[in-house]
Amino acid sequence: MGSWRNSSSGKILWLIIMPLVLIFGFMALKKSNWDIRFVNFYSGVSSVTEDDSAEPGPVSSENLGGLDWRWTADGGGGQMAEAPSPSSSSSSPTITLEEDMDMQQPNVTMEEDNFATMLNGTEMFISTNETHDPSTIVEVQRNFSGLYKLEASLVQARAAIKEARNGNQMNDPEYVPYGPIYWNASVFHKSYLEMEKMLKVYVYEEGEPPIFHNGPCKSIYAMEGNFIFQMETSKFRTWDPEKAHIFFLPISSTMMVRFILDRKSQDHWHPMKRTVKDYVELVASKHPFWNRSLGADHFIVACHDWGPELSKAVPNLFTNSIRALCNANTSEGFKPSKDVSIPEILLRDGTMHGLVGGPSPRQRHVLAFFAGGVHGPIRPILLEHWENKDPDIQVHTYLPKGVSYMDMLRQSRYCISPSGYEVASPRMVEALYTGCVPVLIKDHYVAPFSDILNWRSFAVIVDVDDIPNLKKILMGISTRQYLRMQRRGKQVKRHFEVNHPPKRYDVFHMILHSVWLRRLNARIHGMN
């Protein structure tokens, strides 16, 4: 009797276990994966390839643009890894913001190489694996069908831009980029035209002013508010998120500092970072797009000095998303391969009125000019060596009474733009507006649109260690070369102009174009 009971119990247990084994085996074969790849694209030096395994082409050390980053990120959380294989995947579930916004960052590997023109040889890989119940498989396939169409259109755009590297000039009734101010004028022109033809941006509607859908337009942070307002009414905006190539988070870091910052609090960052975190949680809970890519096809714009720090409130916002920042400081986490450097432009009345224009080079009798406060590590060195030391190098903490700052810009051949507490400065654009050749003295700074623009063709870049030799350096530039740089500065000025409404190739469109390039270099795949 005992043996019969044991035998009967064993059969019952076996009948229970076998179906479970079959179910789990079936589910293991049915996995939903996605990945994002930043591919080797947009360079006059390296080639575009549809083969993900292809190695990047040769890189010229003379090119100045995005660093040659190659990095992979694994969507399941974990510690920093030295060299995870791109083919490896995580068994962790899909990351959702409802679970833990303070999750660890994905495994990331970076290799820094020399400078390239635009994301040269860069790869990004993010993957998550999630087991689905068979009844949900059809729904997953349906959700990714629109994404497939978007990615197919981007493949066509990449191919068209690749062809432009051959230098075939395209018709454009308004403006045809040309000359050495561009790394590759034909490629830029074609990528810009492709952007005009197909780019769609979805602006999340969640959030209320003054923190969201709002921003300053009459201050040193004016580009933040200008972009937010212009994006809200832009022809590139789509109201159908399924048609969007990229998603805009309309958050204003400047408005958070103005309305949320509690300077008396010991942890003054917390309320502002909590606001960013709550907003991303909100859009992620209402829409599928953030979790679909871990934020890699989303972007923010921030001109306040604290913008980069506030983006750390959400690890994937800092690590994966495109951050268009005035304070493009590589020592503080700015990644040229995925982030965008935008110009800091001081608009006192919200317009360029009175800021643009200047006399011919022959009427400029001051060799170099700077006026500004003593803060940060670089300006004290500049003032120590040159303040009131040489009539050719007009360096002032405060201008003499009756002397106009704008007049001094227009009287000078070179206008010095040193970093302050932060790397960004409106002086670069002020120089271009007034026909003065910018002199950049900065550490860890990526100049605006340097994926497109060759800054060395229209600006002088001086190392901090060479500040004592500043006059010798500037005097060593021949008159012929100075005139070339000044002429090129007048040509490039159009890319920094603020217009209402925006005009083709102006600063709004250049910011959007840089975002477009980073989206174009990302591949998001939905697979079953």
Reading the block at residue 336, the tokens are: 């040229």
pLDDT at 489: 98
Mean pLDDT of 426-441: 98
Helix (H/G/I), strand (E/B), else coil: 389: coil
Whether the bond between 210 and the residue before it is cis, its omega within 30 degrees of 0, is: yes
Mean pLDDT of 428-437: 98
All residues at 6 or more sequence positions from 374 whose CB lies less than 8 Å from its CB, including other chains = 380, 383, 397
- Per-residue model confidence as pLDDT tens digits over 79-136: 333 333 333 333 333 323 333 333 433 332 333 333 233 433 333 333 333 333 433 3
pLDDT at 49: 32
pLDDT at 20: 53
All residues at 6 or more sequence positions from 399 whose CB lies less than 8 Å from its CB, including other chains = 371, 405, 408
Higher pLDDT, 437 or 29: 437
Q: Rounded distance, CA 108 to CA 337, Å? A: 14
Reading the block at residue 355, the tokens are: 């800021």
pLDDT-derived band at 276, boundaries 50, 70, 90: very high
Burial tier of 122 (Cβ tally within 10 Å: 0-12, 13-18, 19+) = buried
φ, ψ dihedrals at 306, nearest 5°: -90, 0
Inform me whether the pLDDT recorded for 220 exceeds 80: yes
Kindly report which listed range (70-84, 389-403, 485-499) carries the lowest average pLDDT score.
70-84
Kindly report which listed range (264-273, 356-365, 469-478) carries the lowest average pLDDT score.
264-273
Q: How far is CA 11 from CA 25, 80, 389, in A?
A: 21, 48, 98
Mean pLDDT of 57-62: 30
Inform me whether the pLDDT recorded for 41 exceeds 60: no
Helices (H), ranges, 320-426: 379-386, 405-411
pLDDT at 14: 55
pLDDT at 395: 98
294: left (phi over 0), alpha (psi -120 to 50) or beta: left
Q: What is the largest CA-CA distance in the chain?
A: 115
Q: Which domains does the chain have, with CATH numbers?
A: 28-35+50-140 (no CATH), 142-348+506-523 (no CATH), 361-496 (3.40.50.2000)
Reading the block at residue 308, the tokens are: 């980069």
Q: Rounded distance, CA 25 to CA 23, Å? A: 5
Q: How many residues does the chain have?
A: 528
pLDDT at 18: 56
Reading the block at residue 185, the tokens are: 């004028």
DSSP state of 370: E
The answer to whether the Cα torsion of 408, 413, 419, 424 is positive or negative is: positive
Share of the chain above pLDDT 70, in %: 71
Mean pLDDT of 275-287: 98
- Per-residue model confidence as pLDDT tens digits over 138-176: 344 445 568 888 999 999 999 999 999 887 667 888 899
Q: Which residues, in sequence order, are bridge partners of residue 248?
A: 203, 299
Share of the chain above pLDDT 90, in %: 66
- Per-residue model confidence as pLDDT tens digits over 401-417: 999 999 999 999 999 99
Inform me whether the pLDDT recorded for 5 exceeds 90: no
The answer to whether the Cα torsion of 97, 102, 107, 112 is positive or negative is: positive
pLDDT at 51: 35
Q: Rounded distance, CA 144 to CA 124, Å? A: 20
Inform me whether the pLDDT recorded for 312 exceeds 70: yes
